[in-house]
Amino acid sequence: DPPDKDPLIGSVVDRRYKVLKRLGVGGMGIVYKVEHSYLNKFFALKVMRTTKDETDRKRFEQEARLASQIRHPNVVEISDFGVLPTSQPYFVMEFLRGHTIGDAIYTGFIDSQLICHIGVQISRGLQAVHKQNVVHCDIKTENILISEEDLEGKRTRRIAKLLDFGLARSLTASRA
């Protein structure tokens, strides 16, 4: 559906996440900006696209499970999981303001100093992922977001975040 015909926009998911707008569409899911009704805080909600394929469903659930194990400032944080009345699984993650490295390269926004800064952060994030015996398997410019956080209202700090664990694999599970 086009964004203006999306039935989720304006609805409330699990009596607490008000769906405000669509942020993006990927191969596995649609990402929305939502507001938690009790916390008055924004989150991102990723809903699996409608499919009858059980393999896709398991992969989506694995993405939520593996990514939620990792707590690191350079890895997107997953905080909740559920299933919509339409039987579509969803998960909730931190809402990030910013743009992907791919967008930054395309617009010419990125310079060599920022590339080095991002490289160090992504390396730290990957180290945290690997410590949990997880391999991301899909590192690309679209899966690295440069989040912008305001510091004292005057400056902005750029933090690189690893996104999209849809192809991630657990090394522990493969040994079992």
Q: Catalytic site residues?
A: 138
Q: Is 155 exposed, middle or buried (0-12, 13-18, 19+ CB in 10 A)?
A: exposed
Q: Which residues, including other chains, have CB under 8 Å from residue 89's CB and lie 6 or more apart? A: 47, 48, 57, 60, 61, 64, 81, 82, 83
If 0-12 CB within 10 Å is exposed, 13-18 middle and 19+ buried, where does residue 143 land?
buried
